[in-house]
Every structure is written in structure tokens, then in C-alpha cells.
A and B are shown apart, each in its own frame.
Chain A
Amino acid sequence: MKQYVNLQVFKTFKKVRYYTFQIEGHNQNETDKFFSKFELSEEIGDDLYRLNRLIITIGDKTGAIFELFRPEDEAVALPPKPNFRVRRILQIQELEHNSLRLYCIWISEGIVILGNGGIKTSQKTEDSPDLMPHFRFIKSMGKQINKLMIENLFQFEGIEIFDLENIDLTI
């Protein structure tokens, strides 16, 4: 059965407005689920603080400069518009400690849509059970948003996505 997914504002900073996904019938949006899940986790330690501060600093100081977002290899295989990529945010601490992933869709230097994420426990995303559902979800959302953009049904300017209520996404 199809479920509707709404885009909603997650946080607004001086230079970037972050959006997120709200799945119909769920109590929390996808990004709130992510931060709630790890908020009290000892396993992640300071990396959660680092990710949180990275989002705030990008939002308040640097803007969402394209180069700051590392591409998720499989996701960039989408047939996007030149300025549209599904990307994952963050590289926390050193590589060997860097296991936390939060997926997002980079729209512009003023707009990023955050999803959910998890802990990467393997070289390949598909072998990380904590990550794969969130990767599939963001990839599906990315494809749908990409299609809407091509059809001119997803419009944005500055830090604002217009007509959020008319953006129809489903899972």
C-alpha cells in the first residue's frame, strides 16, 4: 500500500534551510528519527555532536557549498539535472572512526533535504543493515523529486521550496 510522504521544513539557518521527509502516519519526520535514535547512544560518542555542529555551521556560516557534500556512489548514478545530486553528508573524525551516515539531497547552496541514516558497518552500503533502508528511501525520494523538477513541479529560490503541500511523494 502506498504511503504519502510530505516535505517539511526541518531547520532554518541564515544561509541554508534544511527540509526533511514526513511519512504519513509516522510520529516523527525522518531526520528527527535519526537524531532521536542516536541521541543517547554511547556507541557514536562525539561524532553525533560533530555531525550536528556541521549541519549548523554549514547552515549559518558557509552555506551548502557543493564540494562539502560527498557523493554516495550508487546514488549519483541517478540521471539528474546537472545541479541535482543525491548525496550523503558528513565525514566524521578519522576514516576508521567514521561510521555515521546521514543521507540528504542537495538542491542548492541554500536548500538541502535531510533524510535518515545510520551506522555504516561494511565497505558497501548494501551490506550495512542499519543503512540500507534509509539509502533506498532517499534514492526513491531523489528519483521522484528529480522527475518533479524536470516537469517543473518542484520550484525553489534562495532557501525556499515553493508549494510544499503540492509536492506529491510516495513510498
Chain B
Amino acid sequence: MDAFDRIAARTPDHITKEVEKNLAIAVRIINILKQQGKTKEDLARLIDKSDSEINHWLTGSYSLDLKTIYRIESVLDAQIITVVEDKTLSVAA
């Protein structure tokens, strides 16, 4: 086992989740942009951020905050994340 595999074996579960979800969000945004024929620069203009900030976000190794995700969902008119429906809450309501 080399150093890479040893590090992988002891990576905490919450970091695995963080990286996988950050990457999934970035890929989802990249795909939405491609589907809509938009560029990362277009997104930067739409949410008033710099190109380098958007480039950074879309590497998938950045934890976007929820407000930013909602903003991107709004300007792109597309869903990026969903929340698992809590059926017990539905019953209570």
C-alpha cells in the first residue's frame, strides 16, 4: 500500500461526503451552463462575481454556501440541489 492508498484508507467520512458533494454541485453547474449555452463568464456576470471566483468555485473543491447556490439556481432557472423529503414532517403538517 502506498502513501496515496494509506491516506485514502483513513480519510474521515465527513470529508469524503464534503468532497463528493462539492464536486457533484460543481459538475451540476457546469452541465447546466453547457446545456444553456452559457459560459462561466456569463455566470460571473449574472451573479456579479469575478471570473476567477467562478473558476475557483467550479473546480469542485470549494464549499459553496447555500445562499450562493440558491442565487445560482435562480439566475440559471434550474435546480442544483434537492433535500430529502421528511415524511414525518409531512404527516405532522
Residues of chain A having any CB pair with chain B under 8 Å: 10-11, 31-32, 35-36, 39, 46, 48-58, 61-62, 65, 67-70, 90-95
Q: Is the CB of A91 within 8 A of B40?
A: no
* CA distance in complex: A99, B55 (Å): 17
- Interface residue stretch chosen among B11-19, B70-78, B82-90: B11-19
Known contacts A48-B7, A50-B15, A35 near B2 by CB under 8 Å? yes
Task: Kindly list the 5 A-B residue pairs having the minimum CB-CB distance in the complex, ordered from nearest.
Answer: A35-B3, A53-B19, A36-B3, A49-B11, A91-B61
* CA distance in complex: A39, B5 (Å): 11
Q: Is the interface of B mostly helix, strand, loop or mixed?
A: helix
Q: Is the CB of B4 within 8 A of A70?
A: no
Residues of chain B having any CB pair with chain A under 8 Å: 2-4, 6-8, 10-12, 15-16, 18-20, 23-24, 26-27, 30, 40, 55-56, 58-63
With both chains docked as a complex, state the minimum distance between the C-beta of B14 and any C-beta of chain A, in angstroms: 9
**Number of cross-chain contacts by CB at 8 Å:** 87
* CA distance in complex: A35, B4 (Å): 6
Closest B residue to A92 by CB, please name it.
B61
Question: Which of A32, A49, A68 meets B58, CB within 8 Å?
Answer: A68
Q: Is the interface of A mostly helix, strand, loop or mixed?
A: helix
Question: Which of A11, A57, A67, A95 meets B19, CB within 8 Å?
Answer: A57
Q: Is the CB of A70 within 8 A of B15?
A: no
* CA distance in complex: A31, B3 (Å): 10
Q: Is the CB of A52 within 8 A of B20?
A: no
Q: Is the CB of A70 within 8 A of B11?
A: no
Question: Which of A53, A61, A93 meets B11, CB within 8 Å?
Answer: A53
* CA distance in complex: A151, B15 (Å): 43
Between A and B, 6 residue pairs with Cβ closer than 8 Å are A35-B7, A50-B18, A58-B60, A62-B24, A67-B30, A70-B55
In the complex, which residues of chain A have a beta carbon less than 8 angstroms from the beta carbon of B60? 54, 58, 62, 68
Closest B residue to A35 by CB, please name it.
B3
Q: Is the CB of B27 within 8 A of A62?
A: yes
Q: Is the CB of A58 within 8 A of B23?
A: yes
In the complex, which residues of chain B have a beta carbon less than 8 angstroms from the beta carbon of A92? 61
